[in-house]
Amino acid sequence: MAHKTRELRSTVSKDGVLTLSLAEIVLDDPASDEIIVRVEAAPINPSDLGLLLGPADAASVRRDVSDGAPQLSLDIPPARMGGMAGRINQSLPVGNEGAGTVIAAGDQAKD
């Protein structure tokens, strides 16, 4: 059975806008040695901040709506766009850690 969930995503456009959005995704059943955890708590670590906001100007934040879903957009000053070349138009999931409840497990998953 597939599992529908949401992920916080960060995308940088070529015109210098960083967009934070919630993307609906579908997870397939876990492989035999995998689990799926419904994340119920997660910290924001300094390493997350680079992906979350990167070089964006926080003073430029604005609320937008796309396909009926809320999102935040922030401008990236042109002088800071050089380091973003590898991220252009890639919707990247934000966050590396979390705690929650196992909702599915493969038949060989342990501990």
Dump pLDDT digits (tens) for 46-57: 888 888 888 999
Per the model's pLDDT, the better-predicted residue between 45 and 61 turns out to be: 61
- 38 in helix, strand or coil? strand
Mean pLDDT of the region 85-107: 93
Task: Answer for the pair 18, 91: CB distance below 8 angstroms, yes or no.
Answer: no
Mean pLDDT of the region 74-85: 93
Rounded to two decimals, the pTM is 0.82
Q: Kindly give, in sequence order, each residue whose CB lies less than 8 Å from that of residue 59, ignoring residues fewer than 6 positions away.
A: none
CATH topology of domain 3-79+96-105: Quinone Oxidoreductase; Chain A, domain 1 (3.90.180)
Instruction: Write down the mean pLDDT value for the chain.
Output: 92
Whether pLDDT at 44 is above 90: no
